[in-house]
């Protein structure tokens, strides 16, 4: 008998459920055995994208990404946008294209590590790894206020 370990919360029928690293429901959430996990949202048409979830979970657990599973608030699978990750306690969003998934994960990890090393991660709103490219969108600077007379 293998016990499934929860990796996500999934909202089904107006109730939270624990889900494994493939997004499959394990059991309804129980307050007695409460564990903080990111919410998983699988948009219609993105069911095949769930094949990427076990690799994402392994990458987070093995520190190949400078984040861990408990630092995420939401993971959304989209047929059009791939995997979108929201980081807990910030407005940072990570987007990973599904084509060439492993290379995209590697590029995302390198970019996160570099931005963190340079102390610039707090200035970033979104990092998107897709194809052979990585885009970094920074927060727009606050408009300056001119004192007038």
With a cut of 50, say whether residue 149 has pLDDT above it: no
The DSSP call for residue 46 is -
Render pLDDT for 130-142 as a digit per residue (tens, 0 to 9). 989 999 999 876 5
> Cβ neighbours of residue 54 under 8 Å, at least 6 residues apart?
21, 22
Render pLDDT for 41-81 as a digit per residue (tens, 0 to 9). 999 988 888 888 888 888 877 766 778 778 899 999 998 88
Report which secondary-structure segment, H or E, holds 54. helix 53-61
Distance CA 66, CA 59 (A): 9
φ, ψ for residue 50, nearest 5 deg = -60, -20
């Amino acid at each position: 008998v293998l016990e499934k370990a929860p990796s996500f919360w999934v909202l089904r029928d107006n109730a939270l459920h624990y889900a494994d690293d493939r997004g499959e429901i394990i059991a309804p959430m129980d307050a007695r055995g409460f564990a903080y996990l990111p919410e998983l949202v699988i948009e219609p048409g993105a069911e095949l994208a769930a094949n990427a979830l076990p690799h994402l979970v392994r990458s987070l657990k093995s520190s190949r990404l400078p984040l861990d599973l408990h630092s995420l608030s939401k993971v959304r699978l989209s047929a059009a946008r791939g995997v979108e990750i929201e980081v807990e306690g910030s407005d940072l969003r990570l987007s990973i294209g599904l084509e060439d998934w492993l290379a995209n994960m590697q590029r995302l990890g390198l970019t996160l590590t570099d931005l963190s090393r340079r102390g610039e991660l707090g200035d970033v709103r979104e990092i998107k790894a897709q194809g052979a490219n990585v885009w970094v969108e920074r927060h727009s600077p606050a408009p300056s206020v001119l004192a007038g007379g």
